[in-house]
């Protein structure tokens, strides 16, 4: 029996990203803060693949997601021209939160470069106060394969 709100493995969702000059420091190594952007793109595209479009729910329902907590582990550097596979591989929900487990690997050699544990909260877009996640969003997230 699965406990409520437990981290649930999902069919791994992979979002490819190529490293450009703008992503790197003077040595051609991906600047540490850029990893946040890469992980964000994968989460956003995972939500989009579940028919959860953040711009639409903000405009139509007055709901936004904001990052509450993030833990990253940088293991190996990504470099200029690398193609990275950024994945979402487990997700859990709470009344007003989403938690994601993610990883980033270099496609060429499948080396694990970074991993992330991310918690987002559902907020009222006007007041920026936590609100209960709408049931239709929770259903889309919890019905992952």
- CA-CA distance, 141 to 145, in Å (whole number)? 10
23 catalytic residue (yes or no) = no
Place of tokens 């139509």: 60
Spot the catalytic one: 23, 25, 73, 81. 25
CB-CB contact of 78 with 84 (8 Å): yes
As given in the structure block, the two tokens for residue 16 are: 């490819």
Buried b (16+ CB within 10 A) or exposed e, 49-87: ebebeeeebeeeeebbbeeeeeeeeeeebbeeebebbbb
As given in the structure block, the two tokens for residue 67 are: 């990052």
Report, as residue numbers or ranges, the catalytic residues: 25
């Amino acid at each position: 029996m699965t406990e409520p709100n437990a981290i649930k493995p999902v069919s791994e969702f992979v979002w490819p990203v190529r490293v450009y000059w703008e992503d790197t420091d003077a040595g051609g190594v991906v600047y540490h803060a850029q990893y946040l952007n890469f992980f964000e793109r994968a989460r956003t595209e995972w939500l989009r693949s579940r028919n959860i479009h953040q711009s639409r729910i903000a405009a139509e329902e007055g709901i936004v997601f904001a990052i509450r907590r993030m833990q990253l582990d940088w293991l190996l550097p990504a470099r200029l021209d690398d193609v990275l596979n950024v994945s979402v591989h487990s997700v859990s929900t709470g009344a007003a939160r989403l938690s994601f487990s993610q990883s980033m690997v270099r496609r060429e050699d499948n080396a694990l470069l970074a991993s992330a544990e991310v918690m987002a909260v559902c907020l009222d877009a006007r007041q920026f106060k936590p609100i209960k996640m709408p049931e239709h969003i929770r259903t889309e997230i919890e019905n992952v394969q």
